[in-house]
Amino acid sequence: MRPYILLTPGPLTTTDSVKQTMMADWCTWDEDYNLGIVEEVRHGLVELATSHTDEYTAILMQGSGTYCVEAVIGSAVKPDADKLLILSNGAYGDRMGHIAEYHGLRYDLMAFDETEQVSVEDVDDYLAHNPEITHVAIVHCETTTGILNPLKDVAHVVKMYGKRLIVDAMSSFGGVPLDVWDLGADFLISSANKCIQGVPGFGFIIARRSELERCQGVSRSLSLDIYDQWKTMEQGHGKWRFTSPTHVVRAFKQAMEELKEEGGVEARHQRYCENHRVLVEGMRSLGFETLLPDAIQSPIITSFLYPHAGFDFKDFYAQLKAQGFVIYPGKISQADTFRIGNIGDVHPDDFRRLIEAVRGCRY
Ligand SMILES: *Cc1c(COP(=O)(O)O)cnc(C)c1O
């Protein structure tokens, strides 16, 4: 079932057992699906996100991760009364700015260098001087480069000023331990095809119940209204408002069980760290350099600089693909880079094989 493995930021390489569960059809009105699958997934997600499960709930939303980011921003930030501060050091932070722009929201975007973490001091200073801010949004792992932002410290400052916190934890949730209650996060967003290792087709939001109540009537989009989606799921015990990606949700449930079997988020984090260590050590031994210093690098995805000016990424990519490895182009303007992901059903031995394959490439 695997012509090659994906070393990408998602969709990822999934297990055959996750893919196999999609070989059955489900009725969205039947309790086998709603109670047996959707509700279990929702409860399981809240348990993964926090030990304070009473205060939070999970909303599943059709579409890719961006749909959920847009749904949260469009449902939580009131167009006239609220003002959003977006902390950006990459394409996904910038995308939140585009969303705020589309929705005609009042917002400020604090831009940081793509190779530097969001600065806690700058956020503190900004909030001290801009009391009209009501919400702050940050990307946990900025997949653009693979940088890990200092979420705990930023969250602490945001809460010190009494602001609401929106976290795009798309590429880290399930792969990097965190607790939304400890952080004080009000909304956390991720999707099916990242660290939980499901297939693409929906995203999800972990939301503080009291903050969700405040979202009633805010959204100017029907399909992206998280309040409405939540109410329907609560009242219908797992019913989605519109056609849900049934096979994808079933596969996700299997992926969550496999996460548990692996030993939970801690164990998965350890595997990703080991994948990353083998990758980076091997690539460095071949003369490649990482874009980021190790101290701010996530175990999720790593950017490598082109080894020389005439490097032909497409050719390098094709040589690796022919040997069973799909890697990813870079996404930043300041330097020529390519990326290699560590997440998915991929293991340290896969990275040892990858390094041998790179060793044999012409570049
Ligand atoms: C993958 C990702 C998204 C969502 O991307 P989609 O293509 O819409 O699934 C958003 N933010 C981050 C940090 C991501 O890694």
User: What pLDDT sits at residue 297?
Assistant: 98
pLDDT tens digit sequence for 168-224: 999 999 999 999 999 999 999 999 999 999 999 999 999 999 999 999 999 999 999
**How many A from CA of 152 to the centre of ligand 1?**
21
> Which atom of ligand 1 is nearest to 191's Cα?
9
How sure is the predictor about 333, in pLDDT bands with cuts at 50, 70 and 90? confident
How sure is the predictor about 314, in pLDDT bands with cuts at 50, 70 and 90? very high
> Which atom of ligand 1 is nearest to 90's Cα?
13
In the chain, what are the helix, strand and coil shares in percent, each to the nearest 5? Answer: 40, 15, 40
Instruction: Answer yes or no: are the C-beta atoms of 337 and 314 closer than 8 Å.
Output: no
Mean pLDDT, the chain, integer: 97
Res. 127: pLDDT tops 80: yes
Please give the model's pTM, rounded to 2 decimal places. 0.98
Q: Closest Cα partner for 112 from 120, 102, 103, 124?
A: 120
How sure is the predictor about 228, in pLDDT bands with cuts at 50, 70 and 90? very high
- CA–CA distances in Å: residue 109 to residues 34, 66, 144, 185: 39, 18, 17, 19
Choosing from 143, 176, 339 the residue with most ligand 1 atoms within 8 A of its CB, the one to mutate for a pocket test is 143
Instruction: Answer yes or no: are the C-beta atoms of 304 and 338 closer than 8 Å.
Output: yes
Res. 1: pLDDT tops 80: no
